[in-house]
Structure 1
Amino acid sequence: MEIKKDSVYSLVLGGSRGLGWASACKLASSGNSVIIIYRDSRSFSEEFQQKIQQKNDEGLDLMAFNFDALNEEKRDVFLDQLLEKNCQINLLLHSVSKGTLKPMQGKHKLSSTDFKITLQAMGYNLYEWVSALHVKKLFAKPAKVLAFTSIGSSRPLPNYAAVSAAKAVLEATSRSVALEFAQFGITSNCIEAGVCLTESLKQIPNIDQLIKEVQTKNPFQRLTTPQDVANVVYLLSLPESNWVNGTVIKVDGGESLN
């Protein structure tokens, strides 16, 4: 599929798996035209494009571009394509998952480079995209900015220091976007999902123990699913949510109550 002239798109950064993919499919199944930006190998990309085609055959308006969302040059080339087709973005969802899970001590401890890469990818990259879209006047009015955070932004977890720092930066950035871009009809919010069995989660050490603990303390005795989160992304895409701005919304079934 090609970018269609004069179209309004929802843009999902990091949407090939997990929460991003579930959200992209939910938005598309609800009548939105969705563009996914992802970064992966050629073999995965071929399989993923087949999944996209299957969704297109089902009547969903989905397309995907394989490039690094952190690459400024490639980002601008993509945005110029939208500009040439006179398109607009009504929702930007930041679901980039590129971080380092290492302890803060020992032989393989976190390095300053690990922190920098994680902070950019999962933290202030949100602002880089918001700014670029705004400068090129690609945001619709109104428009929504959403980003996925985690409980790690405020609670320490083993081997999670770099990601925790990035999520704290992400939330602070989102609040500032909410304040400074409101004059342009743009709202910004974060979604804090409960523990959800995604590929990213599986990389966390001792994850089996964490899952058992979460299932025990969650009022519903289960983990959060990608669809649970995607449903809230959809709710926040609706005009009825236009007055929700600058907050972190928990989607965890009450997991954080205990």
Structure 2
Amino acid sequence: MTNKVALITGGTRGIGKAIAKRFAREGYQLVLNYMRKKSDAEQTKNEIEAEYGVEVHLVKANVKEMEQIQALFAEVKERFGRLDVFVSNAASGVLRPLMEIEPTHWDWTMDINSKAYLFAAQEAAKLMEQGGAIVALSSLGSIRVLPNYVTVGVSKAAVEALTRYLAVELAPKGIVVNAVSGGAVDTDALKHFPNREELLSEAAQRNPAGRIVEPEDLAETVYFLCTPAAGMICGQTIIVDGGLSLLC
């Protein structure tokens, strides 16, 4: 795997960092996109390189902006000349009740969570001349109604729909496209939820698996979908939640 390259947006913390470590464990060279704290990104880079001995290349980019998406993939091409795996993990969103949502809230969330996925996937496909894998991160809010989650939930539903369209169109090129949807995961992103404690408590108490989902649970599924064993899984959204969504 020493020549294989994986690009993970939002790959320096939380779920993205867990995914990065999973691919590093298999010898992938990594391109990790981040948007805010360079010091945190560099800490992740140093940690992964020291532990796994792979190259980690950091690229700061706001995937909301088309020019920055193009610059991100241009840097991948210049540095590695190829791309084998693209994980669309970067996400953001405004958490407010439906009646308080404003047009700017809607545009911000949809641009980062779904529009960026479409156009980044286009750029990724151009670098996958020998085939590859694309995986997007979704959440249960795409199929369930969660408090204050309307903009994010709708954007994630769009992610899952885009996954199906991308999968069918890119399959003849040898590119496998799927999505992974997680239950409540205790990461920094969840701290923005006004009902964070309630979400985590309910998930832990009601989950048939007896615990909440960890970032590593999602990372394992993302990695599996990028292996030959998953070559005939096409356009699916795999739910990783310990069975919580099966309950009424």
Report TM bin, short chain.
over 0.9
Residues 63-83 of structure 1: per-residue CA shift (max 9 Å, x gap): 211121222223323323333
Greater mean alpha carbon deviation, residues 139-148 or residues 177-186: 139-148
User: What is the TM-score with the length of structure 1 in the denominator?
Assistant: 0.89
Counterpart position of 2:219: 230
What SS does the aligned partner of 1:99 have? coil
Q: Structure 1: how far apart are the matches of 2:234 and 2:209?
A: 28
Counterpart position of 2:157: 168
**Aligned letter for 2:141?**
G
Residues 108-138 of structure 1: per-residue CA shift (max 9 Å, x gap): x11011111101111121110111233xx31
Q: Structure 1: how far apart are the matches of 2:143 and 2:228?
A: 30
**Aligned letter for 1:31?**
G
107, 114, 117: which one aligns with 2:108? 117
How far the C-alpha of 1:226 sits from its partner, in A, is 0.4
Q: Structure 2: how far apart are the matches of 1:162 and 1:11?
A: 26
Q: Contact 1:124/1:173 (CA < 8 Å) preserved in 2?
A: no
Counterpart position of 1:55: 48
Q: Structure 2: how far apart are the matches of 1:49 and 1:69?
A: 19
The alignment status of 1:72 with 2:63, answered yes or no, reads: no
How far the C-alpha of 1:140 sits from its partner, in A, is 4.1
Unmatched segments (≥5 aa) in structure 1: 1-5
Q: Structure 1: how far apart are the matches of 2:79 and 2:114?
A: 30
Counterpart position of 2:77: 83
Alignment of 1:171-250 (within 5 A): 171-250=160-239
Counterpart position of 2:38: 45
Q: Contact 1:174/1:188 (CA < 8 Å) preserved in 2?
A: yes
Residues 220-249 of structure 1: per-residue CA shift (max 9 Å, x gap): 221100011111112112111111111110
Q: How many residue pairs are counted as aligned between the two chains?
A: 245
Unmatched segments (≥5 aa) in structure 2: none
Q: Structure 2: how far apart are the matches of 1:181 and 1:94?
A: 16
What SS does the aligned partner of 1:89 have? coil
Q: Structure 2: how far apart are the matches of 1:77 and 1:97?
A: 19
Q: Structure 1: how far apart are the matches of 2:25 and 2:179?
A: 22
What SS does the aligned partner of 1:237 have? coil
Q: Structure 1: how far apart are the matches of 2:38 and 2:120?
A: 23
What SS does the aligned partner of 1:11 have? strand
Q: Contact 2:12/2:40 (CA < 8 Å) preserved in 1?
A: no
18, 25, 28: which one aligns with 1:29? 25
Q: Contact 2:17/2:44 (CA < 8 Å) preserved in 1?
A: no
The Cα RMSD (Å) is 1.7
What SS does the aligned partner of 2:188 have? coil
User: What is the TM-score with the length of structure 2 in the denominator?
Assistant: 0.93
Q: Contact 1:7/1:88 (CA < 8 Å) preserved in 2?
A: no
What SS does the aligned partner of 1:141 have? coil
Moved over 6 A (4+): none
CA, structure 1 residues 201+86, in 2 after alignment: closer, same or farther (shift >3 Å)?
A: closer
Counterpart position of 1:3: none
What SS does the aligned partner of 2:57 have? strand
Q: Contact 1:152/1:163 (CA < 8 Å) preserved in 2?
A: yes
